[in-house]
Structure 1
Amino acid sequence: MSSAVLAVLAAVVASIGYGVSTIMQAVATRRAAGLAVVTQPLVIGAFVVDGLAWLLSLVALDRLPLFVVQAIIASSLVVVVVLARLVLGARMRSIDRVAVVVVVSALVAVSLSGGDQPAVAPPDGFATTMLVSAGVLAAVFVLAYRRGRPLLLATIAGLGYSAAAVAARAAHASGGLLDTVLQPLAIVIVVSGVVAALAYLRALERGSVGAVAATVSVLEVVVPGVVGTVVLGDVVRHGWDPVAVVGTAAALAGCIALAMSPANTAAEAVSPVA
Structure 2
Amino acid sequence: MQTGIVAQRGNPRAASLADELRHALGDRDVAVRIDESTAAALDLEGAPIETFDDCDLVVAIGGDGTLLFAARNADGTPIIGVNLGEVGFLNAVSPENAESAVLSAVEGIRANDLSVREAPRLVAQVDGWESNPAANEIVIQGERRGHGGGVDYEVRVDGSIYTGSHADGVLVATPTGSTAYNLSEGGPIVHPDLEIAIVNEMCARDGMPPFAVDLDTEVTVSVTGAGPAIITSDGREPHEIEGPAEITISRSATPMRIAGPQSDFFEALGKLS
Tell me if both proteins adopt one fold, taking TM over 0.5 as the criterion. no
Q: Is the strand fraction higher in 1 or 2? A: 2
Q: Which has the larger radius of gyration?
A: 2
After TM superposition, the score normalised by the length of structure 1 is: 0.24
